[in-house]
Structure 1
């Protein structure tokens, strides 16, 4: 089978390359900034002209939606190998994403485009005193977001207007996400809903499957399948939602494998990376993913590697090989077990080996497990 090319040389492409071995699919990565090719899971970097890229790769996907605008990337996206062009045109821009959701009548927070300060005042009048203001492009992990309150000063840069949307502040009980795959024949595979906890805009931990999702799973699958069908999307897509008294409200869509789906590496017989490659290449999986032990995914943010983690029971460790920086995702740990009680024991065994911040987040996850 010819190799698949993943645009982006980060951890998602790295884990797709590792998953490709399961199906005999070679997966290479391309740095979306430099244009250099990174074969497989190596750190070797190569240059390759566009005509050779077209010859080598029948399928080109991406690990991130905010790809920038370089001559090489624009040329790659113009090739017949580039997958899901409609999704990568619409979803990276929050304004277009919101317009699509409204068109499909998929619930999302009320919103307005902000051209100037007067638009912000109008948004307060129409959407409420408390707003979430977001850059229409590139903002993630808490970046490019503000929370202005009517009548109070704010720190939104004047030059940002014209590239912002304002959303009504949603009253929600928790954040959940659905990761699913659509195949070229129209078949869908869905994982159970995931419960997610963010701090400072960054995902800290996930519980999969999410507890207490009666009635929500079917609703979420209907919403995401409608979106993927509209975009004629093939591969894995993630849908982040707020759970409200009225039901699920879509917060963000990602046309790719997703941080909140990492638990599937330990909590399913097929991971999100397996399904993404399977859908794109047509490599068959024998059945719908169906083994779902209870799992906690803990993101490792700005911390040091600890080799002792790997010796603990019920644990999978993933370290991305990045330079350490505060608030940077450097790895993740999946903890899984056949029962909640056993999983709690695994989590409590890990806590002493974590720094204070990560201890606190894993202790919160344990409390949620005990209450489930």
Structure 2
């Protein structure tokens, strides 16, 4: 009988990503312990949950004493919390990488330093700065908070210079707190992401490029591998590797990209497992969640190759009837255990098939029952159908 102690992974943040990390860790014989500021955090349904404020050092010290390594499931965990814990237990990704990804200005500056082009951007701290920035970026443009924005939050689109007053009215109060950034609007042809993982030993792998579609700034659909973007894989992989090495990154991250005139432009980096990688749970040999656990705990990385073709539907606000998905061949349902609320991510579904054309057939049959015909029309175009 073995007396080997099970490793324990600590997770800062208790949302659906922590929940899926926990479910991926269990088959590896790894326990998880979650910290969140809310007792209702959905990861608490599948893992022990400590409810504490991010500045509660007594609770965090107790948490650190029970875990072998710490990671996080969302990028708005204060970098100061990660730094404090790093003095007591291994934290991956490192707090420096987290801090870079928390500030859009720092992040985009790093992109350019690593050879990744970006839309034109200018820091904005005052109303006068906004006028000067518009003279650089032109309009349309998007005014964003430098920190704490995600899923389209903390943004205002300026269709012309005449919208400057309204934009400042909407976000100007944030300028003194977090700072703002004005970004030129990109009439992109495609949105895609490269999901990558780097181990403690520097081993680096990526999953096939994923093509994404958004609704109101929130991911609604992901296709992988997408036939119309495969030629961009080497370039995207090289850029992701350079960023990971520059940051001495350990774990999974997503690099969100625009495609314009066949070139890649950097949008954002998410220093964590990512919505656009959910398809990897059933569609890849090793999922993003399993490989994140492996990387953070110093285990060998798993194969990131795709098993076939996959399509992920993101459920926002409320869950539809699961029966059509459950009755579809190779259809997979994920309920995050959250209460329905407008704009909230409450679950996803993934369809898998041997190839893109077979996947399209299954998706079209399913779309007729759940009202997603327009979404699947986009997928048909991507598959050359």
> TM-score with structure 1 length normalisation?
0.91
Q: C-alpha distance in 2, partners of 1:152/1:37?
A: 43
Which digits, 9 at most, give the CA deviation of each residue in 1:245-297, with x for residues without a partner?
A: 15101100011000000111121111100111111112224x53223311100
* Corresponding pairs, count: 367
Which digits, 9 at most, give the CA deviation of each residue in 1:7-28, with x for residues without a partner?
A: 1111000000000023111122
Which digits, 9 at most, give the CA deviation of each residue in 1:192-236, with x for residues without a partner?
A: 110000111000000001222243111111111111101100110
Q: How far has the Cα of 1:123 moved from its partner?
A: 1.5
Q: Secondary structure at the match of 2:88?
A: coil
Q: What are the ranges of 5 or more consecutive residues in structure 1 without an aligned counterpart?
A: none
> Could you tell which deviates more after superposition, 207-216 or 166-175?
207-216
Q: C-alpha distance in 2, partners of 1:276/1:288?
A: 12
Residues 74 and 188 of structure 1: CA distance in aligned 2, closer, same or farther (over 3 Å)? closer
Q: How far has the Cα of 1:128 moved from its partner?
A: 1.3
Contact 2:331 / 2:349 at 8 angstroms: preserved in 1? Answer: yes
Contact 1:114 / 1:165 at 8 angstroms: preserved in 2? Answer: yes
Corresponding residue for 1:142?
A: 152
Alignment equivalent of 1:282, drawn from 286, 294, 298: 298
Q: C-alpha distance in 2, partners of 1:112/1:44?
A: 41
Determine if the alignment matches structure 1 residue 304 to structure 2 residue 319.
yes
Q: How far has the Cα of 1:351 moved from its partner?
A: 2.1
Q: What are the ranges of 5 or more consecutive residues in structure 2 without an aligned counterpart?
A: 1-5, 53-57
Superposition RMSD in Å: 2.5
Determine if the alignment matches structure 1 residue 295 to structure 2 residue 304.
no
Corresponding residue for 2:161?
A: 151
Determine if the alignment matches structure 1 residue 227 to structure 2 residue 240.
no
Corresponding residue for 2:205?
A: 189
Q: C-alpha distance in 2, partners of 1:313/1:43?
A: 34
Alignment equivalent of 1:80, drawn from 73, 83, 89: 89
Corresponding residue for 2:216?
A: 200
Alignment equivalent of 1:166, drawn from 182, 189, 214: 182
Residues 229 and 178 of structure 1: CA distance in aligned 2, closer, same or farther (over 3 Å)? same
Q: Secondary structure at the match of 1:86?
A: helix
Q: C-alpha distance in 1, partners of 2:16/2:48?
A: 12
Residues 147 and 243 of structure 1: CA distance in aligned 2, closer, same or farther (over 3 Å)? same
Q: Secondary structure at the match of 1:113?
A: strand
> TM-score with structure 2 length normalisation?
0.88
Residues 360 and 102 of structure 1: CA distance in aligned 2, closer, same or farther (over 3 Å)? same
Determine if the alignment matches structure 1 residue 363 to structure 2 residue 372.
no
Contact 1:302 / 1:325 at 8 angstroms: preserved in 2? Answer: yes
Alignment equivalent of 2:349, drawn from 313, 321, 333: 333
Q: C-alpha distance in 2, partners of 1:98/1:69?
A: 18
Residues 261 and 69 of structure 1: CA distance in aligned 2, closer, same or farther (over 3 Å)? closer
Contact 1:312 / 1:350 at 8 angstroms: preserved in 2? Answer: yes
Contact 2:252 / 2:273 at 8 angstroms: preserved in 1? Answer: yes
